[in-house]
Structure 1
Amino acid sequence: MRNKGKIVALFTALSLFTAACSMPGEMQGMGGKGNQEHNASAIELKGEKPAEAKKSGDTFELMAKKSSLETANGEKWPTWSYNGSSPGPTIRVKEGEMVRVRLKNTLPEPVTIHWHGLPVPNRMDGVPGVTQNSVEPGKTFTYEFKATVPGTYWYHSHQKSADQVERGLYGTVIVDPKKAEKVDRDYTLVLDEWNRPGKKGGHGEMGHGGVMNHHMDYDVFTINGGTYPNVPPIEVNRGDRVKLRLVNAGYQTHHIHVHGHDVKVTHMDGQPVNQPPSFRDQLIPVSPGERYEVELIANNPGNHIVESHDSESAAAGMKVPIRYQGVSRDGVDTAAGQMQLPVLNTARYGKEQRGGFKVDDSFDEEIKADLGEGMDHPNMKMVYTINGKTFDESEPFQVKKGDKVKLRMENTGRQNHPMHLHGHFFQVIRKNGKPVNSMPMKDTLNVRPGESYEIAFEADNPGDWMFHCHDLHHAADGMATLLKYKGYKSFKPDPNAPNEPE
């Protein structure tokens, strides 16, 4: 949905209401209490380990279709999906491999696929009206690109994405490095939030919450489409080196705690962390669109869990057991779930990246992005803005190929804004005016109320690229713009195509 009209400051009552809406997430950002114990009468969904996508010849086949999630008592909740499951199948490829994915749309609406975090050619980025026309019902489109950067990524529709992603149109992409990593077990855990059918969101089907206060409306938090205790466990043998890939496909930050083990974050958004230190009993803040690769050594036999320490009662479902082979399944380590735990400071984690940008570097382009909120009075609804303008009114950022670019983001509003830049990795160089020691590489960065960040990147992938909030309701309500390369021949969309890129 697009928004036009004059943007004005929020009046006091609305500001207070909005602040109240975001309080649970903010409290967790300061180290919140663990979630409530599992209630047997709570909503239970069956989860499955995401299947790996299969090839037909040299091409992966993805079908956008109507499907469902199943409750423990056999009730079917309607969703949309790729290949019949949410998350959809994992596309797993090798670094350097040419990837072909044929999308067939059997849904009643147009769809696309965006390759979140992968630096694909612009024409393959999956943004309708910007890089392609949407794939209409009954039609197909083939995406083709080279998997150049190893790591954990994900894919989702970018057509009416606030609606279509909430219905379940997403899956994961794993690009294995040429030199294989030494891990014994590899698990992908996709985090999401849902509502029962009939509640706000998802047009009467299962989906996320309403536009203004959606974070507090979620009934169910899931891992791989299921809730505890119906999520398949993380099976390990003593001594195993275990990789956990945390992917947030939802619209709310989740603070993840791995019980009973020292862990380290080896990658953020697919990019390696330089010399990551081990830690225990800290919460990993996984914001919308982000991915974290977490490594542990299975050296503490017992029944432990990986869980979300969010304050909402729905978080009781967002946990999965760590189960040692040969160990009794009686009892689960839940004691640490009731502890006040610190949140991992990802801006101070690891050592400075080698060969990257420096705080005092000079830049060819310096861009500002003030992230704000306002009120569309004629339509009586919130709008979210970049530099005071919604997407339809925005002035694209302009760069040239080869430019070294610094982008300063400041959140002047009252809600979190996980900002995602398509087609590029960027380096975080300052937070709140102070140098960031570790300078992590990212493609999505959560900017909380009152925070500012400076990020740096090289303009090395010509095209027209979206820059938007990955709380996709905020993007739908205006918080999006384009990064355009000067001299690039832009895609010419069909004026009659039903393209809705937000």
Structure 2
Amino acid sequence: MKPHLTRRSLLEAGFLGAGTFFSKLLPTTASAEAQKVESPAYAAHRDTAVEHSVSKHGGSLTVGDVDDARNGFNPREMLTDWDRGKVSKLPDGRTLREYEIFVEERLIEIAPKVFYPAWTYNGRVPGPTVRVTEGDRVRICFSNRGTHPHTIHFHGIHSARMDGVPGTLEAKAGQEVVYEFDAKPFGCHLYHCHSVPFKRHLHKGLYGAFIIDPDPKRHPEAEKVASSRLLGSSENAKWQEFLMVMNAFDTNFDEENEFYAINTIPHEFMKRPIRIERDRPVRVYLVNVIEFDPLNSFHLHANFFDFYDHGTTLTPTQRTIDTVMMVQAQRGILEFSFQDFEPGTYMFHAHQSEFLELGWMSAFEVVV
């Protein structure tokens, strides 16, 4: 008789014993530690960070590490791996950015020795972080290597023909389609599959971030602010920018999530806090894609941030807050600074206690 894994049983079992508990449920070919290749410096940082986080903030963490190499993606690299596409010029002088995105069905490790049968864009969850500039022409060559029909629906402004819903550029198994549109409006957006049943296609992993940087020339009234968001500009180089996709996983398909995370792996950024320089400002592109829960949230410890709802304004829509609530597909930009703060570990997490106990708990390591 197979054990029935629910989020309530996870909480009752306790995360300190989770590694042993999960290993009885799901097999693995090799341990994460055996396959992970690490430099001595990183290993020392990892061990110190884990010990420090556990001692300061409690021990309700998953035991062990996910094998990023076997997964083929790394949640830490996802923080900053902006995909700018293949760049060329159109006859009218505008920038064309081309991407190849495919659907692939893969078994991924979402917690130590816990495997999930995901549907992925380009073999990863979340998919590539598509980052373009306002006014660019975007061309997506989309191929379906899976066994179900799939689409890509981009949140943004485009024609009905490019909407990526059933009946408009839905690719059946083995098919290829092309999406093409102008990038607008600027902001922090997302893309996801819109095939039916929608909740299953999204929850299985078919989503990713779609960031459109403002073109400073189009915003003379706020040119400096717009320039600070434009990747590659001197103003942007001053910022520490991170992409955080809030997601969750229903491992037994009972429409209740057993794990919550930033960039897929529970407690990853609690075990190894995100290093930030104290005297440089921080910008977080935050996207919520959880299914089966009406709300998710982001709470920052010991500090406050300005929030740009959907990222479509150059002035904050909310100022000096430390918690923001989001429904599914809601997103925004957070800006804050630790200047003049003492160095140390500062937590951030969901402010639904069950979410953080099941993985959505993280920290920044502020250094001088």
TM-score of the superposition, structure 1-length normalised? Answer: 0.50
The answer for the alignment partner of 2:298 in structure 1 is: 256
Task: Give the secondary-structure state (helix, strand or coil) at the position aligned to 1:272.
Answer: coil
Q: Is the 8 A contact 1:87 1:225 kept in 2?
A: yes
Q: Secondary structure at the match of 2:199?
A: helix
Deviation, 1:111, is: 0.2
| Partner of residue 182 from structure 2, selected from 131, 137, 146 | 146
**Equivalent pairs: percent with the same residue?**
25
Judged with a 3 Å threshold, the aligned counterparts in structure 2 of structure 1 residues 178 and 120 are, in CA distance, closer, same or farther, namely same
- 2:11 aligns with none
- Does the alignment pair 1:53 with 2:83? yes
Counterparts in 2 of 1:292 and 1:313: CA distance versus 1, 3 Å = closer
Q: Does 1:323 align with 2:362?
A: no
What residue is the counterpart of 1:85 in the other structure? 124
Residue 138 of structure 1 aligns to a residue whose secondary structure is coil
The ranges of structure 1 where at least 4 consecutive aligned residues each deviate by more than 4 angstroms after the TM superposition are 41-46, 273-277, 313-316
The 5 Å alignment of 1:277-356 reads 278-280=319-321, 282-299=322-339, 300=341, 301-312=343-354, 315-325=357-367
CA distance in 2, matches of 1:177, 1:53: 16
Higher relative contact order (CA 8 A, sep 6+): 1
* Candidates 157, 160, 165, aligned match of 1:122: 160
Letter in 1 for 2:302: G
- C-alpha change, 1:133 and 1:97, in structure 2 (3 Å) is closer
Q: CA deviation at 1:291?
A: 0.4
CA change 1:133–1:237 in 2 (3 A) is: closer
Distance 1:237 1:48 in 2: 16
Check conservation: 1:191, 1:221, Cα contact below 8 A: yes
User: May I ask how many residue pairs the two structures share in their alignment?
Assistant: 270
Question: Once the 2 structures are TM-superposed, how far is the Cα of residue 313 of structure 1 from its aligned partner?
Answer: 5.5
Amino acid at match of 2:77: K
CA distance in 1 between counterparts of 2:165 and 2:145 reads: 19
Structure 2 counterpart of 1:234: 274
CA contact (8 A) 1:69 1:225 kept: no
What CA deviation, in whole Å up to 9, does each residue of 1:48-106 have, x standing for no partner? Answer: 43233363565201011012332554554221110011100101101110000111100
Shift of 1:156: 0.3
Which protein is bigger by CA-based radius of gyration? Answer: 1
Q: Select which of 303, 312, 318 maps to 1:271.
A: 312
Q: Note the C-alpha offset of 1:244.
A: 1.0
Conserved 8 A contact 2:269-2:363: no
For residue 174 of structure 2, give the secondary structure of its aligned residue in structure 1: coil
Query: Is the contact between residue 139 and residue 179 of structure 2 (CA under 8 Å) also seen in structure 1?
Result: yes
Rounded to whole Å, the distance in 1 between the matches of 2:77 and 2:326 is 20
Q: Is the 8 A contact 1:304 1:322 kept in 2?
A: yes
Matches within 5 A, 1:88-487: 88-116=127-155, 118-129=156-167, 132-160=168-196, 161-179=198-216, 180-181=227-228, 182-183=235-236, 184-196=239-251, 199-201=252-254, 209=255, 217-229=256-268, 233-251=273-291, 252=293, 253-265=295-307, 267-272=308-313, 274=315, 276=317, 278-280=319-321, 282-299=322-339, 300=341, 301-312=343-354, 315-325=357-367
Q: Distance in 2 between matches of 1:314 and 1:258?
A: 13
SS state of the match for residue 329, structure 2?
coil
Shift of 1:323: 1.5
- What amino acid does structure 2 have at the position aligned with 1:165? L
Measured in 1, the distance between the counterparts of 2:134 and 2:244 equals 22
User: Which amino acid in the other structure matches residue 240 of structure 1?
Assistant: R
Indicate conservation of the 8 Å contact 2:297/2:326, yes or no: yes
Shift of 1:311: 3.1
1:42 Cα offset (Å):
6.6
Q: Tell me the distance in 1 between the aligned counterparts of 2:192 and 2:150.
A: 9
> Residues of 2 paired with 1:150 and 1:244: CA distance?
15
Aligned residues of 2:344 and 2:367 also touching (Cα < 8 A): no
Q: Which amino acid aligns with 1:93?
A: V
> How far apart are the structure 2 equivalents of 1:107 and 1:226?
23
The 3 A distance-change label for structure 1 pair 292 and 270 is same
Q: Tell me the distance in 2 between the aligned counterparts of 1:273 and 1:193.
A: 30
Contact preservation (8 Å) 2:195, 2:201: yes
1: CA distance between counterparts of 2:163 and 2:336?
A: 34
Question: C-alpha separation between the residues in 2 aligned to 1:84 and 1:101?
Answer: 16
Separation of aligned partners in 1, 2:253 and 2:260: 16
**Unmatched segments (≥5 aa) in structure 2:** 1-56, 69-74, 88-96, 217-226, 229-234
* Aligned 8 A contact 2:244 2:286 in 1: yes
| Alpha-carbon contact 1:218-1:314 (below 8 Å) kept | no
8 Å Cα contact 2:62/2:267 also seen in 1: no
Higher helix share: 2
Task: Give the match's secondary structure for 1:162.
Answer: helix
Structure 1 counterpart of 2:60, which letter? N
